[in-house]
Structure 1
């Protein structure tokens, strides 16, 4: 009998056959209406998007729900603002809040 070389242990995420999921998928998507832990779809809900990342509205909702904004000092659950004026819909969250939300997840 021959001894085969032992291989390194496989990480659990690879063994399961699925890549790690983005933490924003734990929230319902306000734009496309995708359920929690489901990938984002088109606006009509008929087709799933090709990309694995959540859509920008879901990322903004996740950052708003989980992180304190270092720019405007708002608590989790409250939208970002500039001196009391709400941010426009094109950028509903400060960029610093995204990085703050990603730190505990990493």
Structure 2
């Protein structure tokens, strides 16, 4: 008796699993992953989770307006007196919203 073949995975499900994170469009400053490539661990293994935090930050700076300090994409966050600030958490959230 032959075993029945399993059904192929629907394209809609397959597409959702392979969609790269938009931050992968930027080279990772932490692990050195190239544009389009996934981030790696110290031992060189490819990560299966989100990109490195440094890559997420660079992506947020590149694409999102900061809701806190109102700087435009491509400009780092600022404090009220004009000095550079790391990155406001609201900007990371804003960048995640543009990724969806």
Q: TM-score, with normalisation over the residues of structure 2?
A: 0.76
Distance 1:61 1:75 in 2: 13
Q: Secondary structure at the match of 2:30?
A: coil
Hey, what does 1:57 align to over in structure 2? 54
Hey, what does 2:39 align to over in structure 1? 40
Distance 1:103 1:18 in 2: 19
- The runs of at least 4 aligned residues of structure 1 exceeding 2 Å deviation read 9-12, 14-20, 48-52
Q: Which runs of 5+ in 2 are unaligned?
A: 1-6
Give the aligned length. 92
Hey, what does 2:91 align to over in structure 1? 97
Equivalent pair of 1:39/1:52 in contact (CA under 8 Å): no
Hey, what does 2:79 align to over in structure 1? 82
Per-residue deviation at 1:99? 1.4
Kindly report the root-mean-square deviation, in angstroms, between the aligned alpha carbons of the 2 structures: 2.4
Q: Which runs of 5+ in 1 are unaligned?
A: 1-6
Any residues of structure 2 matched to 1:10-49 within 5 Å, and which?
A: 10-12=10-12, 14-15=13-14, 18-42=17-41, 47-49=44-46
Q: TM-score, with normalisation over the residues of structure 1?
A: 0.72
Per-residue deviation at 1:67? 0.4
- The structure in which a higher percent of residues are helix is 2
